Chain A
Amino acid sequence: MLFFLCFALFLIGLYCVLIKKNLLKIVMGIIIMEYSVNLFLIMVGYKAGAVAPIVTAGVEKANFVDPLPQALVITAIVIGIATLALMVALCMRVYDRYKTFDITKIRRLRG
């Protein structure tokens, strides 16, 4: 069930990228997609009732969550921020040149 909700979030992001006409809303759509994927990765590693995977004396055989997806998600978030920063910077530059965020009016290239 949770996985379907996560996939729904992904689809909301995709819808936003495909349908919206505003540059910033498109950027938001991409970010929503990225976050749904991050959520998916976290849910893959989640186990109900498990503890953080820190091995100390006495808890060697405890029920651990899978730590690898968490490491992946941190990396993915950092990459996402780099992409977001560049995208927003591009949006600002585009606004400087065209004085609008509307993609139907930003059409100097053919095709």
Chain B
Amino acid sequence: MNLVPLFMAIPLGAAFIVVLLGRFKEAVSDAVAVIVSLILTILSFVLIIPLSQEGIFVYRMGRWIPPWGINLVLDGLSLLMLIIINLVAFLAILYSVSYMKKFTAKSTYYGLFLLMVAGMNGVVLTGDFFNLFVFLEIAAIASYALVAFGVEAEELEASFKYMVMGSVASVLILFSIGLIYSLTGSLNMAHVGTILQGQNGNLISFSMILFLAGFGLKAAIMPFHAWLPDAHPSAPAPISAMLSGVLIKALGVYVLLRIFFNVFGMNIQLSWIFMILGCLSMVGGGLLAIKQEDFKRLLAYSSISQIGLIMLGVGCGNYWGILGALFHLFNHASFKALLFLNSGAVEYSTGTRELKKMGGLSKAMPFTGATSTIGSLSISGIPPLNGFWSKLFIIMGLVYAGRYVLAVITILVSVLTLAYYLKVQRYAFFGKLGEGLEKVKEVPPLMCASMVALAIICVGAGIFFYPIMKTILEPAVRVLQEGIGYSNLILGG
């Protein structure tokens, strides 16, 4: 199946076309961006059925055979990530059509957005270390520029901070790739995996640490999290939704999973590192979130906490833990994107992000109010919404692995999550109408449409969790459980 390279080719091409067309008429660039992202979303869903029959697609760039050429690999885990990335990107672009009207240079915005999508699609599809680095930089540089898109003082400051941290992370990753190359003489992930099998050494451990630090910085796991609460709130709302919902997962968590499960091979020490880092950021992010007064900042800290939960689930290493973690990856993309879009809608209508200045908004803005309630309940894990199932699976995984203390901590953090989302609901959407908010109106229909769509995904994924689990999640879990057997599939086929 030769659809795989289209995931990079279409957005890369469209990114340049959209900027050129935007010179003539802005509405054209709106249409192109929406259509391109819709096509990508449909493509990623179309691939579900053929992939379930074949198991894995390997596309060889220029027909070079794997250890020498670059190859693109589409397996269950990549497909899960592709669906998340392209679905959220489509809804965020739909939302931007109205939301970005107040900014100038909308076509440039779409260009950067599509570059970021191309970079992320490339990262999840590639099977080559250096190619991974190139796509990672495409996505990262586009995101630095998008965070600073408003060119206000705070945005520039946040973007600079993000950029310094991101560049250090990229340098660490490149250093580690160089080390891997000097040790194995190969850059192909599958080939490196077969060479490193059963080997142990200081340099291998050093490169693992560099990868952990580099991708940990990109994923904002707790000791490396300082940039996220500045960068994510400063961006325009649809970009915040993309960054928090997708970018930290595609560039951070996904690559960590791919490298540590499929290339190096998981062992007990690594799984402890994953669990400890996960637990630290889950608790720390939650505690920092609860005292925030700024709507988007609270959401950003909550992202750190939820990423910690995902790492914790992955770290326990059994079927239920990994299943829960991957399901939470999907769910977090849906409800965190929804909540960031809600915060954008509130800012669009009222002009403020301070929770204490809002109040009673659900009467004035019924769609925003209702969808944000769904998002908040879903992220706090109220049954039958989707967050409940993924948290349940992660806790089941922890119990099966015998980590009872961590399971209890997870439940407590879940209660903490409920607490700070109730605070959001209480201050922003319920109660009396805040001062000066009498004239607040609901946001334009396209913005409502994308928020409602995300809310439907939250509810739908909760009610129909079983078919989703069977069709999308189980192939992804199988990829991670196969571990270093991944190499044989690629080099053999």
Contacts and interface: CB of A to CB of B under 8 A. Distances in A.
B482 interface: no
Size category of the B interface is 20 to 34
Interface string B115-158: 00000000000000010011001000100110010011110111
B145 A86 contact: yes
Interface stretch (B166-174, B194-202, B277-285, B351-359): B166-174
Interface stretch (B175-183, B316-324, B405-413): B175-183
Contact of B167 (A44, A69, A76, A87): A87
Interface string A15-56: 001000001001000100110010011001000000000000
B163 interface: yes
B230 interface: yes
Contacts of A14: 168
Nearest to B158: A109
A13 B160 CA distance: 17
A62 to B, nearest CB: 19
A82 B153 contact: no
A72 interface: yes
A90 B229 contact: no
Contacts of B133: 76
Contacts of A26: 164
A79 B134 contact: yes
Contact of A76 (B153, B157, B174): B174
B159 interface: yes
Contact of A37 (B148, B153, B171): B171
Contacts of A44: 178, 181-182
A101 to B, nearest CB: 11
A90 B171 CA distance: 19
B157 A106 contact: yes
A74 B160 CA distance: 25
A97 interface: yes
A40 B156 contact: no
A109 to B, nearest CB: 5
Is the contact region of chain B dominated by helix, strand, or loop, or is it mixed? helix
A72 B156 CA distance: 31
Contact of B164 (A17, A41, A76, A79): A17
Given A30-B164, A37-B171, A75-B134, A94 B156 contact: yes
Interface string A57-85: 00000000000110010011001001100
Contacts of A68: 181, 187
Given A33-B171, A44-B181, A75-B130, A98 B153 contact: yes
B153 A108 contact: yes
A97 B151 CA distance: 9
Contacts of A40: 175, 178
A91 interface: yes
Interface in A95-111: 97-98, 106-109, 111
Contacts of A30: 164, 167-168, 171
Interface SS majority for chain A: helix
A97 B153 contact: yes
Contacts of B170: 83
A17 B175 contact: no
A86 B182 contact: no
B178 A109 contact: no
Contacts of A10: 175
A86 B137 CA distance: 13
Nearest to B173: A37
Contacts of B163: 83, 86-87, 90
Nearest to B234: A109
Contacts of B158: 109
Contact of B230 (A13, A86, A94, A111): A111
Contacts of B130: 72, 75
Contact of A109 (B145, B174, B175, B230): B230
B207 to A, nearest CB: 12
A14 B169 CA distance: 11
A30 B165 CA distance: 10
Interface string B223-249: 000100110001000000000000000
A79 B174 CA distance: 11
A68 B234 CA distance: 40
A90 B154 contact: no
Contacts of B167: 30, 34, 83, 87
B175 A82 contact: no
A97 B156 contact: yes
Given A26-B164, A30-B164, A75-B134, A86 B157 contact: no
Given A23-B160, A68-B187, A109-B161, 9 more contacts: A14-B168, A30-B167, A72-B178, A82-B137, A83-B167, A87-B160, A90-B163, A98-B153, A111-B226
Interface of B: 130, 133-134, 137, 141, 144-145, 148, 151-154, 156-161, 163-164, 167-168, 170-171, 174-175, 178, 181-182, 187, 226, 229-230, 234
20 contacts: A17-B164, A17-B168, A23-B160, A30-B164, A34-B174, A41-B181, A44-B182, A69-B178, A69-B181, A72-B181, A75-B134, A76-B133, A79-B134, A86-B163, A87-B163, A90-B148, A93-B156, A97-B152, A98-B153, A109-B158
Q: Which 9 A-B pairs have the closest CB atoms?
A: A97-B153, A44-B182, A33-B171, A30-B167, A41-B178, A79-B137, A94-B156, A37-B175, A109-B230
